Structure 1
Amino acid sequence: MTDQNQPKPGDPCWVDLYTSDLDRSIAFYGELFGWTADRAGAEFGGYVTFRRNGLAVAGAMGHTEGDADAPEQWTIYLTSTDIQATTDKAVAQGGTVVVPPMPIGDIGSMAVLGDAGGVGVGVWQAGTFGGIETPALVTGGKWGDSNGVPSWFELHTRAYDTALDFYREVFGWQDPFTISDAAGFRYTTIHSDSPMLGGVLDASAFLPEGVPGGWSVYFGADDVDKTVAKVVELGGSVVNPPEDSEFGRLATVTDVTGARFSLGGDKA
């Protein structure tokens, strides 16, 4: 991402993994992407910061006591300059508060909200830490040197129009660019400036009954097919196999504990 420590309000700025087996997850992503893992002290709950070439790319924490049934999942965080005001706006626009705003030492403040369509999304207000330290490298369907870098962020929602209104009002998204408004494929980017960073997909036609949707992260891959094969070798699974699109070669997988993420790279 460009000037990652000062992202625009509403831009994705961080991702973290909530996992039932932190040690297995660290080993999985270390083997898959070459990430190293820094563990914080007890005052931060042993939170893990993953790094690629020394730069922070993602975080992780293990399930806490009493959360045995918690999902294995990646959470995407959007930037806020006033996390309490963002939370208040979310509630006013039909959202919910899952985790209320809380300070994390001097590095920043976090919260987790439910948007007006029922999808969870994180919020981050930077202190000494701004978020992902690697650049976003997706340009015109070309992924560049993006292996192991969070490079695209996507909301799949049943409430497409409602969601767009929500994020405009709550996170200040400005001038989103509609790629397609066809009945079978409705897609709008977060904003029209480059880098675009992500988008919103009307997923009402293919989401399972009762599932509101979710935010997902795409990690870049030098070779999507080989990376998918490595996922399987390491104990993960394939949700959607590699396929060429106008946005590059894409696939969706789960990691060793079942957390879902996507991969993107240049076309085969």
Structure 2
Amino acid sequence: MNDKDENIYGKIGWIDLTIPNAENVKDFYAEVVGWKPEPVSMGDYNDYNMTANGEPKAGVCHKTGPNQDIPSQWMIYINVPDLDKSVAAVEQKGGKLLTEIKSMGAYGRTCYIEDPAGAVCALFEPAQ
């Protein structure tokens, strides 16, 4: 890992909204925030990258398939260098795992957690 790679850790790398019907809500955010929904094929349905000035800003996703156990809320993804180590620390420090570690394919791995105060976020280990 070089110094450039280390600069991504501890930062919020992405935000997603995972809900039962992304079709309805994508248009809400398009009108309210000005984001443009761009479909991302998930096979039988589309999730959406919400873009501004041609750059992805957030995701709006259906709560189905591999996303069915994700809490329905805006979710931040915090970049970590070693997801296994971070998951162990969650449990040692009084938090809990909301999901198992999930592969995000070529992008990396993620896990959804709850801290001791009840706040929820996702930890994300980018692929090397």
TM range (shorter): 0.7 to 0.9
Higher CA-based Rg:
1
User: CA separation in 1, counterparts of 2:13 and 2:59?
Assistant: 12
1:178 — aligned with what? Answer: 39
Q: Deviations over 1:203-248 (max 9, x none)?
A: 156369xx8x211111110111111111111110111122322231
Relative to 1, partners in 2 of residues 1:191 and 1:238: Cα closer, same or farther, differing over 3 Å? same
How much has 1:250 moved relative to structure 2?
0.7
The 8 Å contact of residues 240 and 252 in structure 1, kept in 2 or not, is answered as: yes
1:200 — aligned with what? Answer: 60
Return 5+ residue gaps in structure 1 as ranges.
1-136, 138-142
1:147 — aligned with what? Answer: 9
Give the TM-score normalised by the residue count of structure 1: 0.40
Give secondary structure in 2 for the equivalent of 1:177: strand
Relative to 1, partners in 2 of residues 1:258 and 1:216: Cα closer, same or farther, differing over 3 Å? same
Sequence identity percentage? 25
For residues 5-154 of structure 1, the aligned pairs below 5 Å read: 145-154=7-16
User: CA separation in 2, counterparts of 1:240 and 1:252?
Assistant: 5
Give secondary structure in 1 for the equivalent of 2:29: helix
The 8 Å contact of residues 69 and 99 in structure 2, kept in 1 or not, is answered as: no
Relative to 1, partners in 2 of residues 1:197 and 1:228: Cα closer, same or farther, differing over 3 Å? farther
User: CA separation in 1, counterparts of 2:47 and 2:6?
Assistant: 23
1:227 — aligned with what? Answer: 86
User: CA separation in 1, counterparts of 2:83 and 2:58?
Assistant: 19
AA matched with 2:16: E
Which residue, 147, 151, 160 being the options, matches 2:22? Answer: 160
AA matched with 1:258: G
> RMSD between aligned alpha carbons?
2.6
AA matched with 1:150: I
More helix per residue: 1 or 2? 2
AA matched with 2:35: W
- Alignment size in residue pairs: 121
The 8 Å contact of residues 178 and 189 in structure 1, kept in 2 or not, is answered as: yes
Q: Deviations over 1:128-151 (max 9, x none)?
A: xxxxxxxxx9xxxxx763222111
AA matched with 2:28: F
Give the TM-score normalised by the residue count of structure 2: 0.79
